[in-house]
């Protein structure tokens, strides 16, 4: 159904099943439809995506549907946040499947604009861009120059046309979430940014649209990333107080998987993403990791205070000495022989 045949969505209507009520290509028609929703006294939930929807995206839509009267999902592969043209070209595009997946999860409206609708001057440089200093400078910002300016610019435009709403983002892209929160606050958008827990596969790997580009062996190797994060979180829980020791441990865990090329494994302040100075329990922390697996860049993170839920125990036991006698000695990681695969977690999915 196109925007020209947008049906009225009566208050209290059941969530759509199968397909959304309307799919929009034009920003003006999308904005008008949401204005009518709010004028009728209903609330709007918004889930911005780049398509290739998976269970993680659907979890965001379902949460939005549980908390808001109407849910809008945007599907737009944003060229501004890709520094590598080949990476942009390879990004999966599944428009029909995405519309179906969004509707099944509870989306009422889907916005699927062309690049020319979002950025008429593209591929020429966009005349107006949004930059978030500080938060966007480190980690992914340093590895992918211009990436977060592209993210902030497209999200600002989407917030402008969506209007007052609650916007749902996954915590898997934690730095992106922090950048969007700062941008929304600094520019006074009438948007409440809601972070949602990362959805993981059975082996702990965070769900990502990029995972489909991994071969079978690469997919197996990629599971070392959540294992490294879990090792860091356990070290902190056991009393390690030096960020450098935790970072060294995470790096060592990844280093045992030759198919994975580590970019960074760091402990940062959970608010400003600056390198953590200490691991005091009264300070919010995040463990961030990024690596290339078979040419595919993957990122992940966890809150060490929240534990390692969703990441299964390692197939090989890890023993970590949290307080070495010599403060300068390397972190010691002792591994036993491979053991049996961990049993299924009976609480998974609850």
pLDDT above 90 covers a percentage of the chain that reads: 80
Q: Is 192 helix (H, G, I), strand (E, B) or coil?
A: strand
Q: Is 248 helix (H, G, I), strand (E, B) or coil?
A: helix
Residue 98 has pLDDT above 60, yes or no: yes
Mean pLDDT of 32-45: 98
What does pTM read for this prediction? Answer: 0.85
Residue 345 has pLDDT above 80, yes or no: no
* pLDDT tens-place string over residues 135-152: 999 999 999 999 999 999
The terminus-to-terminus CA distance of the chain in angstroms comes to: 35
- Given a contact cutoff of 8 angstroms between Cβ atoms, the answer to whether 219 and 211 are in contact is yes
Q: What is d(CA 106, CA 67) in angstroms, rounded to the nearest whole number?
A: 11
Q: Is 98 helix (H, G, I), strand (E, B) or coil?
A: helix
pLDDT attached to residue 323: 45
How far apart, in Å, are the Cα atoms of 301 and each of 9, 199, 261? 39, 12, 17
**Is residue 54 among the annotated active site residues?**
no
Within 76-146, where are the H helices?
85-90, 95-105, 115-118, 140-143
- Given a contact cutoff of 8 angstroms between Cβ atoms, the answer to whether 112 and 75 are in contact is yes
Residue among 224, 200, 180, 198 at smallest CA distance from 335: 224
* Domains of the chain as residue ranges with CATH: 3-196 (3.40.50.620), 214-344 (3.30.1300.10)
pLDDT band at 169 (very low <50, low <70, confident <90, very high): very high
- Side-by-side strand order, sheet with 285-293: 260-269, 285-293, 296-302
Tell the burial category of 268 from Cβ atoms under 10 Å away from its Cβ (0-12, 13-18, 19+): buried
Strand partners, 166: 45, 192
Q: What is d(CA 236, CA 268) in angstroms, rounded to the nearest whole number?
A: 13
- Given a contact cutoff of 8 angstroms between Cβ atoms, the answer to whether 226 and 250 are in contact is no
Strand partners, 110: 23, 73
Residue 341 has pLDDT above 50, yes or no: no
pLDDT attached to residue 280: 87
**3-class DSSP string for 283-324:** CCEEEEEEEEECCEEEEEEECHHHCCCCCCCCCCCEEECCCC
Cα dihedral 115→51→161→166 (10° resolution): -160
Q: What is d(CA 149, CA 79) in angstroms, rounded to the nearest whole number?
A: 11
pLDDT attached to residue 316: 65
Looking at 136-140, 218-222, 269-273, 317-321, which range is the least confident one? 317-321
Q: What is d(CA 91, CA 110) in angstroms, rounded to the nearest whole number?
A: 20
Residue 347 has pLDDT above 80, yes or no: no
Residue among 189, 163, 160, 155 at smallest CA distance from 37: 163
Cβ atoms within 10 A of the Cβ of 47, count? Answer: 32
pLDDT attached to residue 319: 55
How far apart, in Å, are the Cα atoms of 118 and each of 42, 110, 158, 178, 275? 27, 15, 9, 23, 35
- Write down the catalytic residue from 54, 57, 292, 334: 57
- Given a contact cutoff of 8 angstroms between Cβ atoms, the answer to whether 198 and 170 are in contact is yes
- Given a contact cutoff of 8 angstroms between Cβ atoms, the answer to whether 158 and 74 are in contact is yes
Return the DSSP state at 275: B
pLDDT attached to residue 350: 34
Cβ atoms within 10 A of the Cβ of 21, count? Answer: 19
Q: What is d(CA 144, CA 150) in angstroms, rounded to the nearest whole number?
A: 11
């Amino acid at each position: 159904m196109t925007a020209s045949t947008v049906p009225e969505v009566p208050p209290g209507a059941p969530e759509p099943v199968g397909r959304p009520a309307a799919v929009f290509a034009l920003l003006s028609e999308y904005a008008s439809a949401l204005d009518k929703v709010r004028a009728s006294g209903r609330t709007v939930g918004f889930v911005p995506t780049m398509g290739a929807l998976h269970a993680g995206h659907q979890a965001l839509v379902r949460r939005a549907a549980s908390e808001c009267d109407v849910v809008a999902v945007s599907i737009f592969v944003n060229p501004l946040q890709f520094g590598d043209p080949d990476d942009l070209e390879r990004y999966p595009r599944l428009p029909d499947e995405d519309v179906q997946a969004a509707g099944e999860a509870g989306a009422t409206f889907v916005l699927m604009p062309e690049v020319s609708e979002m950025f008429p001057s593209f591929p020429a440089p966009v005349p107006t861009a949004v930059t978030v200093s500080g938060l966007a400078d480190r980690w992914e910002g340093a590895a992918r120059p211009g990436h977060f300016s592209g993210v902030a610019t497209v999200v600002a435009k989407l917030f402008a046309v969506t209007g007052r709403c609650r916007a749902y983002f996954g915590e898997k892209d934690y730095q992106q979430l922090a950048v969007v929160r700062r941008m929304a606050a600094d520019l006074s958008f009438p948007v409440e940014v809601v972070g949602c827990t990362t959805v993981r596969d059975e082996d702990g790997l965070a769900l990502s649209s990029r995972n489909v580009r991994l071969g079978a062996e690469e997919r197996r190797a990629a599971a070392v990333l959540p294992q490294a994060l879990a090792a860091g979180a356990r070290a902190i829980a056991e009393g390690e107080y030096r960020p450098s020791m935790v970072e060294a441990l995470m790096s060592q865990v990844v280093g045992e998987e030759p198919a994975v090329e580590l970019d960074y494994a760091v402990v940062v302040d959970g608010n400003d993403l600056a390198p953590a100075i200490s691991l005091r329990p009264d300070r919010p922390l995040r463990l961030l990791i990024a690596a290339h697996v078979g040419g595919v860049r993957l990122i992940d993170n966890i809150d060490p205070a929240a534990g390692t839920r969703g990441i299964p125990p390692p197939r090989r036991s890890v023993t970590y000495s949290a307080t070495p006698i010599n403060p300068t000695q390397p972190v010691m990681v002792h591994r036993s022989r491979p053991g049996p695969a961990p049993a299924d977690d009976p609480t998974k999915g609850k």
